[in-house]
Amino acid sequence: MLKREDMLELTRRMTPARTSIDRIAGCYFDEDGYVDGSFNTGFLKLKTSEKEKNLGIAKTIPFSETNRQLIELDFPGETRESGDMMRLLDAIMESGLKNDAMLDTFYDIVGEQMPAGRPLAVVLFHGVYDIPRIGSDKAEQWESEEVYEYLICSIGPVMDDYEIGTPECGFLYPSFCDRSADIFHIALYEKEPGVSGEGLIQALGCDRES
C-alpha cells in the first residue's frame, strides 16, 4: 500500500531549485485521436516559468490523495513474462526519454485506449532522485541511501495554443514504497477514482483487481 509520507518526500523536491526531473517529452492527440505534434527536451533548459508550470503538472500525480486517487497496481504475470509494457517502460526510463522510437510506441499504445472527441496531451517526465540517508534523529544525512530513477506520466486535456490542462489520469513508475523503488508495481493516478484511469489501465496491461 502506498504511504503518504513517501509521496510527500518526492513532491517536496518538485520546485525549480530542487527538482530531480531532468527531461520532459510528450505528444498531442487531436479530437479524432491522431497525433498532432510532439516535443522532447531537457528540463533544465526550460525557462523558470515553464519549469514551474510543468512541475505543477508532474506534482499532481504523487501529491494526489493516496490510496484513493493514487492507487498501487501490479503487472499481471503474463505481462511480466511477455515483457510488453513493463519492459517498454523500463527501456524508456533507461534511455532517459531520449529514444523517440520507444516514445512513439508508448504514445500509440496509450492513444489507442484514450477516448476520442477532444484534444489530449500525454506528457512524460524522467527523474533521478538521490535518496538521502535518514539518521536516528529523522534528519537527512549527506550520504545517499539509494538512487531512485522514475517516470511520471500525465494525461490531460489540451486547451488553446497547446496549453496542457490539469491531469485527469497518469502514473508514477516504478512505485515508491518505504523510500525505495518498487519495480513490480506502478502507482496509478485518477482524478475521478475508479473512472478516469480506465483507458490507461487497459494500455498498461494492469488489472484494477490485482
| Per-residue cell: 79 | 505481462
What is the number of residues in the chain?
210
Q: What is the pLDDT of residue 80?
A: 46
Q: Where does the pLDDT of residue 36 fall: very low under 50, low under 70, confident under 90, or very high at 90 and above? A: very high
Residue 84 parent element (H or E): helix 84-94
Pick the residue with more confidence: 11 or 82? Answer: 11
124-162 pLDDT tens trace = 999 999 998 775 555 555 667 789 999 999 999 999 889
Q: Are 29 and 120 in contact (CB under 8 A)?
A: yes
Q: What is the domain count for the chain?
A: 1
List CB contacts of 45: < 8 A, sequence separation 6 or more.
none
Beta bridge partners of 106: none
In a domain, 110, yes or no: yes
% of the chain exceeding 70 in pLDDT: 90
In a domain, 210, yes or no: no
Q: What is the pLDDT of residue 161?
A: 87
| Per-residue cell: 168 | 485527469
Domain span at residue 60? 4-204
In a domain, 209, yes or no: no
In a domain, 32, yes or no: yes
Q: What is the pLDDT of residue 84?
A: 83
Lowest mean pLDDT among 54-58, 77-81, 104-108, 186-190: 77-81
- 175 vs 186: CA distance, rounded Å: 5
Q: Where does the pLDDT of residue 176 fall: very low under 50, low under 70, confident under 90, or very high at 90 and above? A: very high
Between CA 90 and CA 100, with CA 94 as vertex, the angle to 5 degrees is: 90
**Is the CA virtual torsion 142, 12, 199, 101 positive or negative?**
negative
Pick the residue with more confidence: 111 or 145? Answer: 111
Q: What is the pLDDT of residue 81?
A: 45
In a domain, 112, yes or no: yes
- 149 vs 52: CA distance, rounded Å: 21
List CB contacts of 32: < 8 A, sequence separation 6 or more.
116
Residue 89 parent element (H or E): helix 84-94
Q: Is the pLDDT of residue 8 over 90?
A: yes
